[in-house]
Structure 1
Amino acid sequence: MFTGAVMKSTGTYWLGCLGLMLIAGCSGEKTTPNATASGETSAATIANDLASKSAGSPEDSSPGSGGEKKLTIGFSALTLTNPFFKIIADEMTAEGKKHGYEVVVVSADQDVNRQTSQVEDFIVKQVSAIVLNPCDSKAIGAAIKKANDAGIPVFTNDIKYDGTDGKVVCHIATDNYQGGKLAGEAMVKLLGESGGKVAVLHYPDVESCQLRVKGFTEVVDAHNAGSEAAKIEIATTLNGQGAREAGFAAAKDAIEAYPDLAALFAINDPSALGARAALEAAGKADQVRIIGFDGAIEGKQAILKGQIVCDPIQFPDQMGRTTIDMIIKYFDGDDVPPEVLIPSSLYYQADAEKDLALVPK
């Protein structure tokens, strides 16, 4: 869902939205981790390092080796009030159960201090692995390092860790940069030959949203470079915090500051729905069009009703299952890619009309 540079293509694994192709090979003899010239360490090397740290533990060195250690995965979600993260948690729980893991889910409520405490609690409980949606892509580093030092592998999904204090084995997420570009293309198509002023409802604390806005902005800038008559001006970028209330407040400020606003790009469905409520309250729902991001049920319903034009949609169910797959691969001793990206696709009203999930029971 939800700073950092553009994700590197090297080592990146792509998952199609109709199926998963997990490409992995068994490594040979494990080696001592060595930093690269850029100062980074590969995820496979990190995995080996973490595995070696836990070797010789009196409780058992590997959850997959048949010892007595309870198989537990601790998952600190950004929030569970957003259905997107609830789907990730539910899929992780179901998939983990198939492999003998209990997944303990807690909500950080978008508070990095709370999340840090949750990681510390997972360490005390000696979980087998930790999964995070970082509340702050940099500030969570100290907590990740504590887990590293305790020999517990850390994985992230949706939101990427962008610091240097700790090491993450694998990050599983939507290709947010690609999704942001899709949103930009949809905006260019929406405004057509008229162009106009656009507001962006951002959530700059998290890396995934930075990538969405980056992709969106690049497409708009490229459009403007090739068109004098139909320029799209990003008039303001406000922090919608990925939430309805903040999205409402940000959209309200935007339309008050720019009465001629033509459209709005929100980095997720909750902030888009909050913006829609603000537009309706101001009597501008027909003037200002909204492009969101996510494809949660409420967002899809709003698209069906014409309240949101479209979303680049995500696949949180795949994200949850793939996270467990990567954890299993890690404990099986297989090579684990540093990053697995799931492509997004645009979802319009025509798609909603054919969506069986929206058909009344």
Structure 2
Amino acid sequence: MSKFKKAGFAVLALLLLAVSVMSGCSDGSAKPGTAAPAANDAAKGKKKLKIGVSFETLQTSYWVVGFNAIKKDIQDRGYDVVEAIADGDSNRQLEQVKNFIAQKVDGIIIVPKDEKTIIPMIKAANDAKIPIVLYNRPPAKTDAVSTTVVADNKKITAETVQYMVDQARKQGGKYKAMILIGDLGDQNGIARRDGFLEVVEKNKDIIDVVAKVPTEWNQEKALAGVTNALQANPDINFVFSSTDFLFPSLVSALKAANKYKKIGEPGHVILGGFDGDDTAYKMLKDNYLDADGVQDVYFESKSAVQAVVDMLDGKKVQEFIYDPGFVIHQGNLKEKEAQMWGSSVK
């Protein structure tokens, strides 16, 4: 081999050695504006989040759809879910929250039984420095810190009842009204009652409220109350239910009184409700229900999970995140039905 070839190989060997040394001394970082995935993930040191989800009940389709939507959103983000159902027992729910804390969850999403029993649970989460989000039911006034994702109940109800009043004016005549009132230990029930009364008070020239039926969100109480109200006031022809969950009881009582008629038929009772569930959807499609206030379960579910994530990231989150909802009725049914969560319930 010539001296020139030997020299060439020597130079090449020195170059390869230099490259090897430089690679060995490298800190493994990528060029500016790029990322080395494995090294970057390790550097972040992020653990897999675990979020506790406690629902007071799964009694209605709204709660079932919301519960499943929240779990899916959490899992789609790659986080773990610890789930619990309190079955209407606030003491059990408090124990569930304590169990979440013992399991060192990173955040809690909860549907409380009522506005007062949730306070000790919020305080327990605060003491453990775990962010807590209330889903659909706000707490009573307290210095404990939480975020609530909730429908704008009063506004949605007022808009729904206003549509009903407009229909009444178009048809002419005077109307005897009945409202099925929710649980007044639940601020949602209070807001929906107030939204109804605010509108009918402005339309006293045609609307006379003759029955306010307390239900506590209970179908049996609703059935008994509506039956009694219809017996005492057989000319009731304008009815608002504070939740679609009570429609089966309401419809049963109306049928028994021979007052369940389709829109346009003689004797039709103007009907309105609140939630947007599958029963209301069917009643709209079958032309019995005039209007329904719809809360967006998917907006609320995603907002609840995002609020937890934002708080964990140190971002400021509002005390209340409102779902604006919308009113669905015979005039916009084709346009809005895909947005009504009850239309997709099988």
Q: TM-score, normalised by structure 1?
A: 0.74
2:106 maps to a residue whose letter is S
Distance 2:83 2:217 in 1: 21
SS of aligned partner of 2:185:
coil
Q: How does 1:1-361 map to 2 (within 5 A)?
A: 66=45, 71-164=49-142, 166-168=144-146, 170-192=147-169, 193-203=172-182, 204-224=184-204, 227=205, 230=206, 232-286=207-261, 287=267, 288-353=269-334, 355=337, 358=343
1:131 maps to a residue whose letter is I
Distance 2:203 2:294 in 1: 23
- The CA deviation at 1:71 is 2.1
- The CA deviation at 1:155 is 0.7
2:275, 2:293 within 8 Å by CA — same for their partners in 1? yes
1:212 maps to a residue whose letter is R
- The CA deviation at 1:206 is 0.8
Distance 2:344 2:72 in 1: 25
2:161, 2:196 within 8 Å by CA — same for their partners in 1? yes
**Largest Rg, 1 or 2:** 2
Q: CA RMSD in A?
A: 2.4
Report Cα offsets for 1:89-116 as digits up to 9, x if no partner: 1221121123232223322333333322
2:50, 2:82 within 8 Å by CA — same for their partners in 1? yes
> Against the structure 1 CA distance between its residues 349 and 187, is the aligned structure 2 distance closer, same or farther, given a 3 Å change threshold?
closer
Distance 1:101 1:77 in 2: 19
- Show the counterpart of 2:16: none
Structure with greater proportional helix content: 2
SS of aligned partner of 1:262:
strand
Deviates more, 1:314-323 or 1:82-91: 82-91
SS of aligned partner of 2:202:
helix
SS of aligned partner of 1:337:
coil
2:216 maps to a residue whose letter is Q
Distance 2:181 2:128 in 1: 35
- The CA deviation at 1:273 is 2.9
Report percent identity of matched pairs. 27
- Show the counterpart of 1:47: none
Distance 1:166 1:77 in 2: 20
Structure with larger RCO (C-alpha < 8 A, sep 6+): 1
SS of aligned partner of 1:167:
coil
- The CA deviation at 1:134 is 1.9
SS of aligned partner of 2:288:
coil
2:164, 2:270 within 8 Å by CA — same for their partners in 1? no
- The CA deviation at 1:350 is 4.4
Q: TM-score, normalised by structure 2?
A: 0.77
- The CA deviation at 1:298 is 2.1
- Structure 1, unpaired ranges of 5+: 1-64
1:71, 1:101 within 8 Å by CA — same for their partners in 2? yes
- The CA deviation at 1:137 is 0.9
> Against the structure 1 CA distance between its residues 197 and 105, is the aligned structure 2 distance closer, same or farther, given a 3 Å change threshold?
farther
> Against the structure 1 CA distance between its residues 249 and 127, is the aligned structure 2 distance closer, same or farther, given a 3 Å change threshold?
farther
- Show the counterpart of 1:19: none
SS of aligned partner of 1:333:
coil
> Against the structure 1 CA distance between its residues 105 and 191, is the aligned structure 2 distance closer, same or farther, given a 3 Å change threshold?
farther
> Against the structure 1 CA distance between its residues 71 and 301, is the aligned structure 2 distance closer, same or farther, given a 3 Å change threshold?
same
1:137, 1:205 within 8 Å by CA — same for their partners in 2? yes
- The CA deviation at 1:280 is 1.1
